[in-house]
């Protein structure tokens, strides 16, 4: 028994040193040397400032301005609304407002919950209000599910191609672009399935919107 105790104490300290200090340092070192971009989160810069991470979604929203010219506030936080000139990301349930990448959270909305239905209906209303003026044929049944269901991480960087195609009508009108120009951009920032079969294709919203801004219209 005493032998076991002595051995256990030395062993747990040795394993902590090897597996808890040396191993993570080695992996970090290799990562920083071999794949520095990936290891540091694939930052994207614009005008010398970090504008986001390529694989973390963000909210393309702007503060609502009230009639008195000041930003509208609710419980001390500015009220935000979608900026129609950008492709919109999926709904997000992160705690500190949408796309809070310092506190990822599930919505945890159940399949048989009235609250889930209400949340879906609200987002359907918003999505129709945003897109139907530019796509008159759009109905509830045509909305792709990813556009109104929250993602798991709340940080999903992608939207489905169907979602992008619907929003393309709005972007084309507001930015005076031809639909072929937009379609080419969407195709450019659509990633294929892993290994050709694993997962679903998705459109990277941040990269797409940055490309729109680069065109400058």
Partner 1 sequence: MTLLGWATIAIFALVLTALAYPLGRYMARVYQGERVFLTPILQWPESFIYRVIRVDHKQQQDWKAYARSLIVFSLAGWLLLYFILRTQTLWNFTGLNPEHFHSAPWNVTFNTVSSFLSNTNWQYYSGETTMSYFSQMAGLTVQNWLSAGIGVVVAVALVRGIVGRSGRSLGNFWQDIVRTTLYILAPISVIGAIVLISQGVIDNFASYLTAHTVTGLTQTIGMGPVASQEVIKELGTNGGGFFNTNSAHPFENPDGFTNFFEMLLVLVIPAALIFMYGKMTGNRRQGIAIYGAVMLMFLGAVAVAYIAEAHGSPAQHAAGLHTGAIAGSGGGNMEGKEQRFGIAGSALFDVITTVTSCGAVNSAIESYTGIGGAVPFANLSASEVIFGGVGTGLYSILLYVLLAVFIGGLMVGRTPEWLGKKLEAREIKLAGLGILITPLAALFCTAMATATSAGRASISKVAAGGPQGFSETFYAYLSQANNNGSAFAGYTGLVQPAAGNLGSHGISFADLLGGVDMLFARYAPILFALAVAGALAGKKVSPVGLGTMRTDNPTFVVLLIGVIVIVGALTFFPALLLGPIVQGLTGHLY
Of 60-99, binders to partner 1 (CB under 8 A) are 60-62, 80, 83, 86, 90, 99
Q: Is 128 in the site for partner 1 (CB under 8 A)?
A: no
Q: How far is the CB of 66 from partner 1 (least distance, A)?
A: 18
Among 68, 112, 178, 180, binds partner 1 (CB under 8 A): 112
Contacts 24+ apart (CB under 8 A), 168-175: 169/131, 169/134, 169/135, 170/84, 170/130, 170/131, 170/133, 170/134, 170/135, 171/85, 171/86, 171/87, 171/212, 172/134, 173/134, 174/84, 174/85, 174/134, 175/85, 175/212, 175/215, 175/217
Does 33 bind partner 1 (CB under 8 A)? Our answer is: no
Binding mask 130-149 for partner 1 (x = CB under 8 A): ----------xxxxxxx-xx
Q: Indicate which single residue of 79, 105, 132, 181 sits in contact with partner 1 (rule: CB under 8 A).
A: 105
Among residues 64, 66, 129, 152, which is the contact residue for partner 1, using CB under 8 A? 152
């Amino acid at each position: 028994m005493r032998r076991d105790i002595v051995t256990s104490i030395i062993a747990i300290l040795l394993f902590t040193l090897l597996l808890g200090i040396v191993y993570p340092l080695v992996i970090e070192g290799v990562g920083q040397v071999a794949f520095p971009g990936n290891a540091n989160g694939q930052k994207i810069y614009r005008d010398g400032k970090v504008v986001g991470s390529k694989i973390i979604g963000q909210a393309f929203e702007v503060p609502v301005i009230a009639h008195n010219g000041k930003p509208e506030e609710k419980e001390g936080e500015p009220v935000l609304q979608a900026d129609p000139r950008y492709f919109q990301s999926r709904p997000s349930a992160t705690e500190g407002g949408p796309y809070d990448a310092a506190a990822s959270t599930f919505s945890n909305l159940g399949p048989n919950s009235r609250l889930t239905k209400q949340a879906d209906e609200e987002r359907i209303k918003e999505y129709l209000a945003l897109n139907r003026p530019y796509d008159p044929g759009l109905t509830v049944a045509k909305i792709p599910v990813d556009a109104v269901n929250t993602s798991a991480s709340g940080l999903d960087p992608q939207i489905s191609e169907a979602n992008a195609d619907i929003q393309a009508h709005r972007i084309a009108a507001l930015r005076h672009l031809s639909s072929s120009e937009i379609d080419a951009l969407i195709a450019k920032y659509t990633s294929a399935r892993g290994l050709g079969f694993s997962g679903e294709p998705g459109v990277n919203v941040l990269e797409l919107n940055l490309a729109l801004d680069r065109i400058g219209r």
